A and B are shown apart, each in its own frame.
Chain A
Amino acid sequence: MIFAFDLFEPYEFQFFRNGLIVATIAGALCGLLGVFVILRGMSYIGHGLSHAVFGGAAASAVMKVNYFLGAGIWGVVSGLLIARVARRRVIGADAAIGVVTTASFALGLALMNRYGQASKSIEAVLFGSVLGVKVADIYAVSLVALLGLAVVVLGYRKLLFSTFDRDVAQVSNVRVSLVEALLLAMISLTILVTMRVIGTLLISALLVIPAASARMTTNSFSRLLWVSPIIGAVTCFFGMNLSYHLDTSASATIILLDAIIFIVVYAIAGTRNRAKMASLGHL
């Protein structure tokens, strides 16, 4: 009975319940969009955009503009800017991400230093804080999750086609640039609404690790799109609970749990794939 009591103790706190709901939905959302992130070789973009959104968050705080509005517009504009710079092919996408997002991050830091924002709020943005989660965050993350789901379901084939074979998709009348811009905007919004729990520095991990783990479990794209969100949601749910009982950072515990899942799946899938490749040796 004592064990059961301990398990449910954090649920007595409103802040924990809010944080748990936001983290679980965020895990599923990051898992879903993470599939496109890893398959498009854009793992760096989650890292970069989260830094860009940090700049927007700092600017909103200084200008006393609503966080979601200021950081949201900043993040989406950064995403579109990256897409535009990368499309011109003068510099690669990775360099475009590096330039746009680190400049934005540096601006955020400079603004916070100059206008005397407390270092505690910087820490909360960088590493996340379950204490700062409000009911408005639950609405925001739920809305973005529904939007993300709608984009993936309604644009499923266009997203798949342009991810797998960009040139041929373009020839087949898929508006590839629009699809890519939409995806970047969705990733920016996802980072925006999850940043308060996971934090800027670790959000890219949530966009990459569940999808990478799921990728090793299936060779089917449609299956990947539900396995990855499940891994993301489950690790966030249990990570939040573990963090309370272990008295560790929620974001760090979630990411460590994701990393453990990745290692286990890698070990199992590695053995299975080696056996499978051996059986296909005649090809």
Chain B
Amino acid sequence: MRQSILSKTDSPLIVCEHVSCTYGNAPVVEDVYLTINRGEFVGIVGPSGSGKTTLLKAIIGSQPVAHGSITIDPRLTIGYVPQVETVDWYFPVTVEEVIVMTRTKTKWWPRITSKERADVREVLEKLGIAEVAGRHIRELSGGQQQRVFLARAMFCQPDVLILDEPTSGVDVRTRHEILHLLADLHQEGLTIVLTTHDLNGLAAHLPRVVCFKKTVIADGSPREVLTSEVLEVTYGAPMEVLEHGGMPLVVDHGRVAMRGEGK
């Protein structure tokens, strides 16, 4: 089990109270109350433009909070995995360089030490991509690219891992791999918060789901939250929820094809 600096069970790590964020005068996030406890695995779901990414950025401190407060223990280390769409894949860096660049506090000399190289290898091995260390980031598959940025976040041994759309743009197999990888990390004691569009493939498998559209619409287990009423309010379109293998399966009536695995 991973040892956290904050060892109290179920202690709140991140507390958002009355949080609002704006771009110019336009409100993007309004009056959000959300608590993330130690050891939780939380998925924030909502349509594009609902403010999910803005909320994550407010939590990590790169987006100013217009109103309210976000309380985070100052000893907390947060690992952030951005959307892969925002990454400049032509940037001249190897996988090893991407991971090591995060160690800015202890290291001022450019050369990567043998100890750092070993640490990189260890984290890459844990994520099953040890062989890509010397490769340029563009030479990787979608799943490998996502794992590299996960590795970068893991490299600073975070207490909380925050991921923005970790399964965006990946195929079904890669999505499964990432989900299982995150589940393993959660089992080891890591607190995980992620955003996703993927209701059936990802959100339905998580212990806690937050439906979000500028504010928290519903918060609880997938069975409690993924209901027709909540999803209609969140997505603004009628959605039917079926039961499949003991889990909710969301059917989007706005599309001809049924969403979800195996459909």
Contacts and interface: CB of A to CB of B under 8 A. Distances in A.
Interface of A: 39, 153-158, 160-161, 163-165, 167-168, 170-174, 215, 218-222, 224-225, 280, 283
Contact of A222 (B78, B82, B97): B97
A167 B62 contact: yes
A164 B149 CA distance: 12
Contacts of B101: 157, 160-161, 164
A154 B104 CA distance: 10
Contacts of B94: 219-221
Size band of the interface chain B makes with A? 20 to 34
B139 interface: yes
Task: Tell me if A's interface is mostly helix, strand, loop or mixed.
Answer: helix
Given A157-B110, A171-B62, A221-B92, A165 B104 contact: no
Contacts of A222: 97, 110
B60 interface: yes
Contacts of B110: 153, 156-157, 222, 225
7 contacts: A164-B98, A171-B61, A171-B78, A174-B104, A221-B92, A221-B97, A283-B140
B109 A215 contact: no
Given A157-B110, A171-B78, A220-B97, A164 B91 contact: yes
B70 to A, nearest CB: 13
B104 A153 contact: no
A153 B107 CA distance: 11
Contacts of B80: 167-168, 171
Nearest to B107: A157
Interface string B139-177: 111000000000000001000000000000000000000
A136 to B, nearest CB: 32
Contacts of A164: 88, 91, 93, 98, 101
B75 interface: no
B171 to A, nearest CB: 12
Nearest to A38: B92
B199 to A, nearest CB: 27
Given A158-B104, A283-B140, 19 more contacts: A39-B92, A154-B108, A156-B108, A157-B104, A157-B108, A160-B97, A161-B104, A164-B91, A164-B98, A164-B101, A167-B82, A168-B80, A170-B61, A171-B60, A171-B61, A172-B102, A220-B92, A220-B94, A225-B110
A172 B103 CA distance: 9
B197 interface: no
A219 B92 contact: yes
A-B residue pairs, 7 tightest by C-beta: A219-B136, A156-B110, A171-B60, A161-B101, A157-B104, A167-B62, A160-B101
Name the residue in A167, A218, A219 with the highest tally of chain B Cβ atoms < 10 Å from its Cβ.
A219
Interface in B100-130: 100-105, 107-110
A168 B82 contact: yes
Nearest to B152: A168
Nearest to A168: B80
Contacts of A224: 92
Contacts of B87: 165
Contacts of A171: 60-62, 78, 80
Nearest to A279: B139
Contacts of B103: 157
B18 interface: no
B205 interface: no
A170 B62 contact: yes
B104 A220 contact: no
Contact of B91 (A39, A153, A154, A157): A39
